[in-house]
Amino acid sequence: MSVDSYVDHLESAVRYALLTTRAIAVCPFHPDVTIRIGDDAAESQACARAKNIIKSDGTKWEREALTAEVKRQLADAADGECPQCAQLRDSMPEVRARRPL
Ligand SMILES: [Zn+2]
């Protein structure tokens, strides 16, 4: 994927930075679920990377706008694991069957 296709949308630029530094990941089973890995180093690296993304008009994103968007996307992401996968795992029939009657 090319960086060029992301640069003119703040949301996409930040998402790109977060994904490529592995600060966030997309659930392999639920593409609409974003998971926050919880890696502080990756998150600050993502901020640094986002600051270096240049828009097609040659300017960079404002630091305040970037920081706010990074925070928003991290807050929106699920913590550590996909909630849908966790729910599925907890309701697996094999697990239920092993419980004493
Ligand atoms: Zn999932």
pLDDT tens string, the chain, 101 residues long: the values are 445 555 578 999 999 999 999 999 999 999 999 999 999 999 999 999 999 988 888 888 899 999 999 999 999 999 999 999 999 988 877 655 565 65
Say how many Å lie between the CA of residue 94 and the centre of ligand 1: 19
Say how many Å lie between the CA of residue 96 and the centre of ligand 1: 20
Say how many Å lie between the CA of residue 82 and the centre of ligand 1: 5
Residue 38 Ramachandran class (φ > 0 left, ψ -120 to 50 alpha, else beta): left
Task: Say whether 60 sits in a helix, a strand or coil.
Answer: strand
Domain coordinates of the chain in residue numbers? 3-97
pTM equals 0.80
d(CA 36, CA 18): 9
Say how many Å lie between the CA of residue 63 and the centre of ligand 1: 32
d(CA 91, CA 54): 46
